[in-house]
Amino acid sequence: MHYFIGIDSSTTATKALLMDENGRVLSVASSSYGYETPQPLWSEQRPELWWTGTVASIQQLLAETAVPPHAIQAIGLTGQMHGLVLLDKNGDVLRPALLWNDQRTAAECDEMRTIIGPQQLIDITGNDALTGFTAPKILWVKNNEPEIYAKIAHILLPKDYVRYKLTGEFATDKAGAAGTQLFDVRQRDWSAEVVGKLGIDPAWLPKTFEGTAVTGHLTPAAAKATGLPAGVPVVAGGGDQAANAVGTGAVVDGVVALSLGTSGVVFASSDVPVVEPDGRLHAFCHAVPGKWHLMGVMLSAAGSLRWYRDALAPGVSFDDLLAPAAAVPAGSAGLLFLPYLTGERTPHPDPLARGGFIGLTVRHSQPHLTRAVLEGVAFGLRDSLGLMRGAGLANITQIRAAGGGLRSSLWRQILADVLQAEIVTVNSTEGAAYGAAVLALVGAGVFSSVAAACAELVQVTGRTEPGGDTAVYHQLYPLYQQLYPALKPTFAALVG
């Protein structure tokens, strides 16, 4: 039997997953760490945390299983996207990494639009300039830390720093690279125009590879640290959302991945590059060779429910909180919830957007509020799905859902009704780490393609069809859509 490891370097922990060639997960290990917010809007993390987390998690896998290290055939990598890791000519870290949720670069986003042109930027990279992306972070360092900028020799993403420590190679996957906003999303490589106009030395950028390609092999030093043998292949992998889509089988047209965690992500695979004209959706390369994807992100999905529970029903279990809401009719008796508790990204890239209950009367009880939260999040996710359909991905037949929020049968039914599509759950529950391991398995030649691997390994475990409340939600959705434009001036005034 051959075995494969998927490594997921997230914002809060590094997870390592061990699976066999039949897709069976033998063990999952996780090493937690924190990040710093030294100033308002800043979010930073020390790259060595990802490496120590990787070493500890791999060692734990080997200790907890009887799998001999020499049976490990390949490693796949995934992790948080958009972060900026800067190394000098010796490969040493120059400063803490600027993370995906760092918001300090508003001025640099405007600078990018001015230098390249707002529409040209969208046409080339598939995205408008956003504070979370890597490119404006590079400009921020140039503008604010010139002494650091002068020492840059290599620019990496977080998971690719782990790759460097494992293999000694400077490389990245095309899905992750597309999230830097330095990428020509159609050509699947660095954009000479964007890189040149921003004054970035192209020698700083790593080589890019398709998700299943081997990017290097375990060095003797990495082998000694992890307990694995030297020479184990390390495949490119993919950014966390692309790898999660592989893990749930969203690798063919018509199948959408829905992640309902703290944030909510709607992810649609495509055989051709599709760019939403106004840049309201993220258009990236997929971790699947030769494929692309569109992605919408809402910042407070299950996070909205957690806030609601903690603020208004502290100590109550989610099951007990949601049970009475099942008896409330669809529409919550005329109550709408706006889920912009931490600003919003899709379809309104507005950090000043705020949440709220609209339509409250004395008739409403806590179960009404609870159901309104579930419905409001579902409406927010429908915004992304509607943009995808409008951009040309009209043939959406199935939504493969994962994340803690999907444990609720009530929420699954509301989502199916609001999104007007079948919601299915699958047997793979480890998301991105599982997807990274699948990419490693394909890279090792066990399967001929990612689609073939997913068809064999990822199985549907449950189905929720749209029901009788679909018509009610279809009538309410336009009212939900009117709320943000009407309240946007108020949001800005409240912050000001």
Residue 458 DSSP code: -
Q: Whole-angstrom Cα distance, residue 159 to residue 8? A: 8
SS3 309: helix
Residue 247 burial (CB < 10 Å; 0-12/13-18/19+)? buried
Q: Is 350 a catalytic residue?
A: no
Q: What is the pLDDT of residue 345?
A: 87
More confidently predicted of 401 and 373: 373
Per-residue pLDDT tens digits for 241-274: 999 999 999 998 888 999 888 889 999 999 999 8
Q: Whole-angstrom Cα distance, residue 63 to residue 66? A: 8
Indicate if the pLDDT at residue 144 is higher than 90: yes
The catalytic residue among 160, 173, 184, 240 is: 240
Q: How confident is the model at residue 496 (pLDDT cuts 50, 70, 90)?
A: low
Q: What is the pLDDT of residue 261?
A: 85
Indicate if the pLDDT at residue 19 is higher than 80: yes
Q: How confident is the model at residue 407 (pLDDT cuts 50, 70, 90)?
A: confident
Q: How confident is the model at residue 1 (pLDDT cuts 50, 70, 90)?
A: confident
Q: What is the pLDDT of residue 255?
A: 87
Q: What is the pLDDT of residue 448?
A: 96
DSSP string, 1-69: --EEEEEEE-SSEEEEEEEETTS-EEEEEEEE---B--STT--EE-THHHHHHHHHHHHHHHHHS---G
Q: How confident is the model at residue 430 (pLDDT cuts 50, 70, 90)?
A: confident
Per-residue pLDDT tens digits for 304-327: 999 999 999 999 999 999 999 999
In sequence order, the β-bridge partners of residue 426 are: 460
Q: Whole-angstrom Cα distance, residue 469 to residue 410? A: 12
Residue 355 DSSP code: -
CATH architecture of 3-242: 2-Layer Sandwich (3.30)
Average pLDDT over the chain reads: 95
Q: Which residues of 278-309 are buried (b: 16+ CB within 10 A; e: fewer)?
A: ebbbbbbbbbbbebbbbbbbbbbbbbbbbbbb
Residue 99 DSSP code: P
Q: What is the pLDDT of residue 393?
A: 80
Question: Domain limits of the chain?
Answer: 3-242
pTM of this structure: 0.90
Angle at 277 between CA 400 and CA 416, to 5 degrees: 25
Per-residue pLDDT tens digits for 444-456: 999 999 999 999 9
CB 462 within 8 A of CB 269: no
